[in-house]
Chains A and B, each alone.
Chain A
Amino acid sequence: MTAGLLFDLMMALAVLGTAAWTLAARTQFAAVIGFVATGLLLSLVWVRLGAVDVALTEAAIGAGATGVIILYVVARLRGGTAEISAATPSRAQRALAALLAVAVGGVLALAVLNLPDPAPSLAEAALAGSAPLGLGNPVSAVLMAHRGLDTLLESVVLVFAVLAVWSMAADHRWGGAPGPVFRREESGPLSLLARVLPPVGIVVGIYIAWVGADAPGGKFQGGTILAAMWILPWIAGLARPPSITDWRLRLMIAAGPLTFLCVGLAGFAVADGFLSYPPSFAKPLILLIEAAMTLSVAAALACLIAGPPERRLPPESMAADRR
């Protein structure tokens, strides 16, 4: 028991240490590295907390995808030191900020340590509730059924985000493909990776999404991997992303929430109401939604990472430009 305690203590100190180092890092690049390291340490902490599903998500999205996208922006920001030093808060302000932040953290700690014991829990209810659905992973059951509305809205939020990102584009770039122009590399390590990795990665992504019904994994984790596999050839210049006005890309992004919505509304007819599943078809329906959602998460994440269109495709290539 003490070994576990020691491990927890070490993990806690490591997480806080890297987090503090992230803030103090001299360059933005170093800060991103610190952030990704913190994220990876956190996924270990999640395993310690018995939440393997979250650990996977944290690694894939919290550290991985977030790290990638921040890094990608860091690489494109230049200069502005005078502006930055002018905007940096004074020493007194920073001291006050530290004081207040520690105070808030302190009262928070006080509150957390005073949470009731034994803790209230829905574990039993969730376990009982996931059995009739035929799902072995109660987290997936909560996501798809009991708190299905959260997941539905969250998948809609992803579409909001993609649309918002696109709408930041310059007017004359509308109709272009997401992201900046990447130089095509015929040879070289990136090109090799972009050719070798996707076949394996796609299998792994689909596997993780598939296994989510019964074991840790699911659409978000799998979708993230698929998104990475899709972006890789773009970055290597081996493939062109589709135009943002291409309805097939848009349908891919919206397919998940649309399917979820349709199945949910169908519940009025075939089961007892919105977002309820007929007992005999629960698992197939959920898998159908999961499949559509995996596709949508992959497409949405890829578009979010790539950013708004920064180039305009020649008109003739727009139609033929599907991978």
Chain B
Amino acid sequence: MTATTPGGWLLVLALTLPAGAMLLGFVAGGRHAQRIALGALAIWLAIALAVALQVQASGAPLAYVIGGWQPPLGMALRADGLAAAMLLTGAVVLLAVALFGQGAYDTPRGAAETRAAYAFWCFLPALAAALAAAFLGGDLFNLFVALEMLTFTALALACLDGKPSQFKSELRYLLFALIGSVLYLLGAGLLYGAYGTLDIALLAGRTRADAPTMVAGALMTAGLIAKMALFPLHFWLPPAHAGAPAAASALLSGLVVKGAFVLLLRLWFWVLPAPVVLGGGTVLAALGATAIVIGSVVALRQERLKLLVAYSTVAQMGYLFLMFPLLAAADADAASRAWLGGVLQAVSHALAKSAMFLAAGLIAVSLGHDRVTSLGGAARVMPITVIAFALGGLSLMGLPPSGGFTAKWLLLRASVETGQWWWSLVILTGGLLTGGYVYRIVAAALAPPAPGCVARAVPRPQELCVLALAVASMLLGVLPLYALGLVRVGAP
């Protein structure tokens, strides 16, 4: 029995405010769309903060029963620590990207509406609504709709430039993502057939390790990891994310893939029964480990900065899967650490990677290219951007005092404590390789400019947006541990 908790209305607001803003912006268009989006995202951040504070204060998940119709017939929105943390991350990144996007997608007073600006300012609140639906949704079918919202938004954002070269990689992304969604839906259908409900809270603890449940679990998992670009299903991500405009890449790599991640966690640690999780977790972690190593090595060998950052996303997503076998372990302390580490990795990667993509975009704009070998002089023209990139890189490597450090440290500790020490070797190797490619960029950017290289200065406000994201990913690491307790609220 789910009951609406005090403050549950915040969840409704978190979902409806960006959706309404998107619709209004869609109708009003032009300059109004921009204003509406900026205003809505600022308020959305306040709402996300309020949700997080409320969850932290009450120590229990928030819930809202929609229309008063109890699940299983009706549906509920829920915000546990995971949802609250991800919502807050999404709000921070979105607002930063929106402020960043004011540079490229500004519609001055009296100017005619342009395609890219209109789409950008409509899809920012759209992404907020999609993320809210994915993080807060309590019903597996409703989450399917949220997944599709995310897919459409991601597609449109990636095509913002209207570059011909982008259409092919986006089409590949769209088709693959749609297949992923359909597999997810197929599994959801089986679960409904087996249990007569798709409400996550009702399914929790009621599922059996029988054929329908396992097949549903396998199908839904495969669909979700296809959307998360876990190796070997990663082929669509690098070209799609690298080819998109910087602001879009930041959102795609930082946030969109995390939507599927939250769904995967809900599926595995709420819905699927323990024996199934125990068996399958190792496979996921093995794929994740492969992704870390292969993604990092391939990133190390990229000649284009944005492709390098995109492959780094493939590698970093691998870390998220290391938590699966650790969480299934018997040691409760270690499991709790693994949970915290995994979620923290998602959050810190969202912040760091969006900063890195925005920085890469600024570097490309300034130098007129993004060839890794000739980034010389970048640090002189835009020291703030290069510092932000380096800070983001430190977080990816897992060096203190970054958020990535805390995340990887917790995962490492959990892997040693549960006796699955081999994952710690992967974390170590991944950190070294990450250090390698981040170092490659930073060293190249610090080098003196090549003769004949003309670098344009970039707008300071944009640089500061990037820096803010990078610093946020750093601050995550010095956040006192009790603040991280938020993530533990309602953990499995």
Q: Do A and B come from one complex?
A: yes
A residues at B contact (CB < 8 Å): 107-108, 110-112, 114-116, 119-122, 125-126, 129, 142, 145-150, 152-154, 156-157, 159-161, 163-164, 166-171, 174-175, 245, 247, 250-251, 253-254, 257-258, 261, 264-265, 267-268, 271-277
In the bound complex, CA of A167 to CA of B119 (Å)? 6
| A119–B196 touching, CB < 8 Å | yes
Q: B50-82 vs A: 1/0 string, CB under 8 Å? A: 000000000000001111110011110000000
| A116–B194 touching, CB < 8 Å | yes
| B73–A129 touching, CB < 8 Å | yes
| A168–B196 touching, CB < 8 Å | no
Of B20-28, B264-272, B456-464, the one contacting chain A is B20-28
Interface residues of B in 22-60 (CB under 8 A from A): 22-24, 26-29
Partner of B23, one of A108, A154, A156, A267: A156
A-B contact pairs, 13 of them (CB 8 A): A112-B212, A119-B193, A145-B69, A146-B74, A147-B74, A153-B145, A157-B145, A159-B23, A160-B156, A170-B162, A174-B118, A261-B19, A274-B9
Partner of B22, one of A159, A164, A168, A265: A159
In the bound complex, CA of A168 to CA of B148 (Å)? 18
In the bound complex, CA of A272 to CA of B152 (Å)? 33
B229 within 8 A of A: no
Partner of A261, one of B20, B123, B133, B141: B20
Query: Which residue of the partner chain A has the closest CB to B154?
Result: A164
Q: What residues on B are CB-neighbors of A268 within 8 Å?
A: 9
Q: What residues on B are CB-neighbors of A166 within 8 Å?
A: 115, 119
| A245–B113 touching, CB < 8 Å | yes
Q: Which 6 A-B pairs have the closest CB atoms?
A: A120-B196, A111-B215, A167-B119, A164-B156, A275-B67, A276-B67
Q: How many B residues, CB 8 Å from partner? A: 62
| B27–A167 touching, CB < 8 Å | no
In the bound complex, CA of A153 to CA of B144 (Å)? 11
| A163–B16 touching, CB < 8 Å | no
B residues at A contact (CB < 8 Å): 4, 9, 12, 16, 19-20, 22-24, 26-29, 64-69, 72-75, 112-116, 118-119, 122-123, 126, 129, 133, 141-142, 145-146, 148-149, 152-153, 155-156, 159-160, 162, 186, 190, 193-197, 210-212, 214-216, 219
Partner of B153, one of A119, A160, A250, A253: A160
Partner of A167, one of B69, B72, B156: B156
In the bound complex, CA of A114 to CA of B146 (Å)? 29
Q: What residues on B are CB-neighbors of A250 within 8 Å?
A: 26-27, 29
In the bound complex, CA of A150 to CA of B149 (Å)? 12
Q: What residues on B are CB-neighbors of A152 within 8 Å?
A: 19
Nearest chain B CB to A309's CB is how many angstroms away?
10
In the bound complex, CA of A148 to CA of B73 (Å)? 11
Interface of B is mostly: helix
Q: What residues on A are CB-neighbors of B190 within 8 Å?
A: 108, 111-112, 115
Query: Which residue of the partner chain B has the closest CB to A120?
Result: B196
Query: Known contacts A122-B73, A153-B142, A153-B146; can you find 7 more A-B pairs with CB under 8 A?
Result: A107-B215, A149-B142, A156-B19, A167-B119, A257-B19, A273-B64, A274-B9
| B129–A156 touching, CB < 8 Å | yes
| A129–B193 touching, CB < 8 Å | no
Interface of A is mostly: helix
Q: What residues on B are CB-neighbors of A170 within 8 Å?
A: 162
Nearest chain B CB to A165's CB is how many angstroms away?
9
Q: A163 with B122: in contact, given A107-B215, A115-B212, A247-B27 (CB under 8 Å)?
A: yes
Query: Which residue of the partner chain B has the closest CB to A268?
Result: B9
In the bound complex, CA of A107 to CA of B219 (Å)? 10
In the bound complex, CA of A148 to CA of B126 (Å)? 19
| B149–A153 touching, CB < 8 Å | yes
Q: What residues on A are CB-neighbors of B196 within 8 Å?
A: 119-122
| A265–B16 touching, CB < 8 Å | yes
Q: A164 with B152: in contact, given A146-B73, A274-B67 (CB under 8 Å)?
A: yes
Nearest chain A CB to B163's CB is how many angstroms away?
11
Q: What residues on A are CB-neighbors of B126 within 8 Å?
A: 160, 163
Q: A253 with B73: in contact, given A146-B67, A163-B156 (CB under 8 Å)?
A: no
Partner of A129, one of B69, B115, B219: B69
Q: What residues on B are CB-neighbors of A116 within 8 Å?
A: 194
Nearest chain B CB to A180's CB is how many angstroms away?
18
| B67–A122 touching, CB < 8 Å | no
Partner of A115, one of B4, B72, B141, B193: B193
| B162–A174 touching, CB < 8 Å | no
| A108–B149 touching, CB < 8 Å | no
Q: A148 with B26: in contact, given A108-B215, A111-B211, A163-B119 (CB under 8 Å)?
A: no
In the bound complex, CA of A229 to CA of B1 (Å)? 47
Q: A274 with B23: in contact, given A125-B73, A164-B152, A167-B119 (CB under 8 Å)?
A: no
Nearest chain A CB to B105's CB is how many angstroms away?
12
Query: Which residue of the partner chain B has the closest CB to A253?
Result: B26
Q: What residues on B are CB-neighbors of A121 within 8 Å?
A: 196
| A108–B186 touching, CB < 8 Å | yes
Q: What residues on A are CB-neighbors of B64 within 8 Å?
A: 273-274
Most chain B CB inside 10 Å of its own CB: which residue of A107, A160, A161: A160
| A174–B115 touching, CB < 8 Å | yes
| A267–B67 touching, CB < 8 Å | yes
Q: What residues on B are CB-neighbors of A168 within 8 Å?
A: 159, 162
Nearest chain B CB to A162's CB is how many angstroms away?
8
Q: What residues on A are CB-neighbors of B65 within 8 Å?
A: 273
Q: What residues on A are CB-neighbors of B69 within 8 Å?
A: 129, 145-146, 276
| A154–B162 touching, CB < 8 Å | no
Q: What residues on A are CB-neighbors of B141 within 8 Å?
A: 147, 150
| A254–B115 touching, CB < 8 Å | no
Q: What residues on B are CB-neighbors of A247 within 8 Å?
A: 27-29
Partner of A163, one of B9, B123, B133: B123
Query: Which residue of the partner chain A has the closest CB to B141?
Result: A150
| B212–A111 touching, CB < 8 Å | yes
| B193–A275 touching, CB < 8 Å | no
In the bound complex, CA of A245 to CA of B211 (Å)? 52
